[in-house]
Structure 1
Amino acid sequence: MSLNNAPAKPPGADTKPPTRAERKARLLAELEQQRVDILVDSDQLLRAASPLDSNWQRFKIPAYVIGGLAALRLVRHPRGALAGGRKVLAGYMLYRKLKLLAKVAT
């Protein structure tokens, strides 16, 4: 067999595979970079969400009051709440069917 017909070796084929310590160091560096990325992204998320959080504070107490009144009504008149729940469920099911029908019609 001639040397000209030998398959070409991919570049870097003569180099040795990385040792266990080198792989560990590379993985640790990658983990550290991921941690830094998470910290940067979480800081960016907190800055972006801060207006929403401050606005939520205005609605928190009214939401608790409305929820408490709804719970009180549910305790005092459970049949009315169950009937309302059935109507909401029926409305949701109707919405899904209409959405499916519109999808088939187009």
Structure 2
Amino acid sequence: MENQLIIEKLNRLERLIVDSTKEILNVEDLINYTGYKRSYIYKLVHNNIIPFSKPNGKTLFFEKSEIDNWLLQNKSQSISQIENKAHDYINNSRKK
């Protein structure tokens, strides 16, 4: 039982290493990359929420850099970042 668990973890690590070098992902790769469920990915595609390509009209492909940008959109700023922007704005306003 313990050996099987170790083998499964090694297989997952191998998939993650191989997938990290890919620039174009299929649905299975995207599942491993994001941790999203298959049904959620299909929902995102159906609603045109996630960037995808469908060159042959059937198979879905995702550009990794576009997925990264999509995942990082609507980023929230920390309090210190907001404070720094406020200080910069005040300092620039005084110089004018």
User: Which structure carries more relative contact order (alpha carbon 8 Å, separation 6+)?
Assistant: 2
The higher radius of gyration belongs to 1
TM norm structure 1: 0.26
Q: Which has the higher strand share?
A: 2
Q: Which has the higher helix share?
A: 1
